[in-house]
Amino acid sequence: MKIKRSFASIVFDTFNYVFLGAFACATVLPFLYVLACSFSSEKEILQRPFYIIPRHISLSAYEYIFSSITLPRAFLISIFVTFTGSAIAMFFTLTMAYPLSKKNLLGRNVLLGMVSFTLVFGGGMIPSFLVIKSLGFIDTFWALLLPGAISTWNLLVIKNFFQEIPQEMEDSARVDGCNALGTFVRIVLPLSMPVIATFTLFYAVGYWNDYRSSLLYTTDNKKWPLQLVLRQIVLMAAGNIDGATFDAAYTQPPLEASKNAVIIFGTVPILLVYPFLQKHFVKGIMIGAIKG
């Protein structure tokens, strides 16, 4: 089929292709530049403007990073928090979402009302801090793992997904003598594997990227995750720039290249899971959007 296109239409299409292509480039180029910088010498970073292939490959930035235990330790802490956190979060979210998906559960509407209310109002930073403090969670991993263990949004989306599973499948299991727990574990969860994968990844990304909990609840800098150390390194380097002062705890300024190497450290794990994430998240978002 051939459609006759007007001149204006062709002009628009050209502009559209170029514009979106440029936008897409703008999202990746900063990362490529930082990656190149992390392998460059200090001199090259200072002298050359934008580039994505360094003239001389230098590993000094990575040597600097691994010369102290701070960054490798922070990296391991982040990995630990990410894995344990997303496991805990999925446990809390799935176990709560399943009963809430049962329309004839007594007290369901009250619970759903209470859950939804947290979308529009929250206690805020200081009362949450005081609660964490009085629980004795300051400077423990619990403070990084538990407060974010249920995202209300994710909970409601998963609840909606459970509601879509045909009740007949569960009924047949019940007739065969399975109780609600057995039905949940043996029928519902296996049917929800794609959703479970999606939201585990969502939570994992959230825990990996989270720096607010550690900023608020961790005073001991030996327990800092990567994001907080990264912030300190960035702020510390930036402290020398333009005369601005930051309340940075470090005293030793890092190399410009190692700052870039740290950024790469924080980004690469996300980019590694991104292909898996991308396969599912569009669907994950839409389950929630259809029956918000």
Site for other proteins in 77-136 (CB under 8 A): 91-93, 95-100, 102, 104-106, 111, 114-116, 118, 120-131, 135
Report the distance separating Cα 36 and Cα 201, nearest Å: 28
- The mark string for 13-42 relative to other proteins (x by CB under 8 A, - otherwise) is x--xx-xxx-xxxxxx-xx-xx--x-----
The dihedral over CA atoms of 32, 36, 39, 44, expressed in degrees to the nearest 10, equals -160
Q: Which two structure tokens, joined as six digits, stand for 260?
A: 């870039």
- Least distance between other proteins and beta carbon 120 (Å): 5
Contact 39, 190 (CB under 8 A): no
Q: Is 53 in the site for other proteins (CB under 8 A)?
A: no
Q: Which helix (H) or strand (E) holds 12?
A: helix 7-38
Residue 255's nearest CA partner among 30, 32, 39, 29 is 39
Should residue 267 be labelled a site residue for other proteins when binding is judged by CB under 8 A?
yes
Q: Report in angstroms how near the CB of residue 13 gets to other proteins at its nearest.
A: 7
Burial track 200-228 (b if 16+ CB lie within 10 A, e otherwise)? bbbbbbbbbebbebbebbbeeeebbbbbb
Positions in 226-255 near other proteins (CB under 8 A):
227-228, 230-231, 234, 237-238, 241-246
CB of 288 to other proteins, least distance (A): 10
Q: Is 61 in the site for other proteins (CB under 8 A)?
A: no
Amino acid at 105: L
Task: Verify binding: residue 260, other proteins, rule CB under 8 A.
Answer: yes
Q: For residue 254, what is the DSSP state?
A: P
141 touches other proteins (CB under 8 A): no
Nearer to other proteins, 80 or 246 (CB): 246
User: Which positions ≥6 away from 245 have C-beta within 8 Å?
Assistant: 239
**Rule CB under 8 A: is residue 177 a binding residue for other proteins?**
no
Q: Which span sits near other proteins by CB under 8 A: 54-62, 67-75, 162-170, 279-287?
A: 279-287
Nearest alpha carbon to residue 100 among 154, 145, 178, 149:
154
CB closer to other proteins, 49 vs 190: 49
Residue 193 CB, shortest distance to other proteins, in Å, is 19
Smallest separation (angstroms) from other proteins to the CB of 222: 19
Minimum Å distance from CB 121 to other proteins?
Answer: 5
192-195 long-range CB contacts below 8 Å, 24 or more apart?
192/158, 192/161, 192/162, 192/165, 194/280, 194/283, 195/158, 195/161, 195/284, 195/287
| Contact with other proteins (CB under 8 A) among 52, 59, 249, 270 | 270
- Kindly state whether residue 192 participates in binding other proteins, applying the rule CB under 8 A: no
Instruction: Single out the residue of 11, 12, 72, 194 in contact with other proteins (rule: CB under 8 A).
Output: 12
51 or 80: CB nearest other proteins: 51
